[in-house]
């Protein structure tokens, strides 16, 4: 896989459950908010299964687990409180998945560029990637609120590719969930799924183009999808 004479090939990553294991800090924030509201905290393993569709969905699921239903205005208020607490503790326990840094270095050396397309809000996405020492590697970090659309709309991925200066015909998505796979398919972009992220069903269920169990496997998976990217 070598650098093109024109647009560099682009890898677009999901964030939570793909690049970083964020569940501990998200669940801690959820439980802090639930306890503040006089509700029951949710055991980690139960709450981890609620992670993956964005922070607001996590909050809604945590409230539902307590048989609490709130109106949209109250939900927005609680969500603002959730984000404020989360940003203060955004990398207390969050870690990159094994092999992420080495994989990015290998792809960068081969001429690839990188972007992030997540359903996490943009500001905490940038904050987290900065805390993890990765923010500077990405040409674009796009969140749920970056555009007028978000995943699984294909335009969210296409707009991310455009913001990163990429070409959709020379881009590959890497994600961990049904949402990521549907997003890539809706955009007409090949997708590699990691099998260690946040998903209700095995990620193979959603028929990504390739599945990997470790970032050490990403190079071969991408190479098998990107022969047309290589310069003769």
Which pLDDT does position 87 carry in this prediction? 95
Same domain for 112 and 204, yes or no, is yes
Average pLDDT over residues 123-151: 97
pLDDT in tens, 10-30: 999 999 999 999 999 999 999
The model's confidence at residue 4, banded by pLDDT at 50, 70 and 90, is very low
Of 14, 16, 180, 209, the active-site residue reads 14
pLDDT in tens, 55-77: 899 999 999 999 999 999 999 99
CA end-to-end distance (rounded Å), the chain: 10
pLDDT in tens, 186-222: 999 999 999 999 998 999 999 999 999 999 999 999 9
Whether residue 163 contacts residue 140, with contact meaning beta carbons closer than 8 Å, is answered with yes
For residue 216, what is the DSSP state?
G
> Per the domain annotation, does 173 fall within a domain?
yes
Q: Is the pLDDT of residue 3 over 60?
A: no
The alpha carbon torsion through 164, 166, 172, 178 (nearest 10 deg) reads 50
- Active site (annotated) includes residue 14: yes
Phi, psi torsion values for 192, nearest 5 degrees: -105, 130
> Per the domain annotation, does 208 fall within a domain?
yes
> Per the domain annotation, does 124 fall within a domain?
yes
Same domain for 130 and 171, yes or no, is yes
Which pLDDT does position 6 carry in this prediction? 57
How far from the centroid of its chain's Cα atoms is residue 176's Cα?
8
Which pLDDT does position 200 carry in this prediction? 86
Concatenated DSSP letters of 132-185? TT-GGG-SEEE-TTTSS--TTSHHHHHHHHHHTT--GGGEEEEESSHHHHHHHH
Same domain for 18 and 31, yes or no, is no
pLDDT higher at 225 or 1: 225
Whether residue 130 contacts residue 122, with contact meaning beta carbons closer than 8 Å, is answered with no
Choose one of 45, 63, 88: the last residue of a domain: 88
Domain of 189 in residue numbering reads as 10-22+94-229
C-alpha to C-alpha distance for 202 and 96, rounded to whole angstroms: 21
pLDDT in tens, 89-115: 999 999 999 999 999 999 999 999 999
pLDDT in tens, 35-53: 999 999 999 999 999 998 7
Same domain for 101 and 203, yes or no, is yes
Instruction: CATH number of the domain at 204, please.
Output: 3.40.50.1000
> Per the domain annotation, does 71 fall within a domain?
yes
Same domain for 208 and 139, yes or no, is yes
Choose one of 71, 88, 105: the last residue of a domain: 88
Which pLDDT does position 228 carry in this prediction? 56
Same domain for 18 and 44, yes or no, is no
């Amino acid at each position: 896989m070598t650098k093109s004479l024109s647009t560099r090939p682009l890898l677009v990553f999901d964030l939570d459950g793909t690049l970083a294991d964020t569940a501990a800090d998200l669940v801690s924030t959820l439980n802090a908010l639930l306890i503040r509201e006089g509700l029951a905290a949710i055991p980690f393993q139960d709450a981890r299964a609620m992670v993956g569709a964005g922070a607001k969905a996590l909050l809604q699921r945590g409230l539902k687990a307590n048989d609490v239903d709130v109106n949209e205005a109250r939900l927005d208020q609680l969500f603002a409180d959730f984000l404020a607490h989360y940003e203060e503790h955004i990398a207390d326990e969050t870690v990159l998945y094994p092999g992420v840094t080495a994989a990015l270095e290998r792809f960068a050396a081969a001429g690839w560029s990188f972007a992030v397309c997540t359903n996490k809000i943009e500001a905490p996405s940038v904050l987290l990637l900065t805390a993890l020492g990765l923010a500077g590697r990405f040409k674009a970090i796009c969140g749920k609120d970056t555009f007028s659309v978000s995943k699984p709309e294909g335009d969210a991925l296409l707009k991310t590719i455009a913001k990163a200066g990429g070409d959709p015909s020379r881009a590959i998505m890497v994600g961990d969930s049904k949402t990521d796979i549907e997003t890539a398919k809706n955009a007409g972009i090949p997708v590699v799924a990691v099998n260690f992220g946040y998903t209700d069903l095995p990620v193979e269920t959603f028929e990504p183009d390739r599945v990997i169990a470790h970032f050490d496997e990403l190079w071969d998976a991408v190479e098998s999808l990107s022969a047309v990217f290589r310069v003769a």
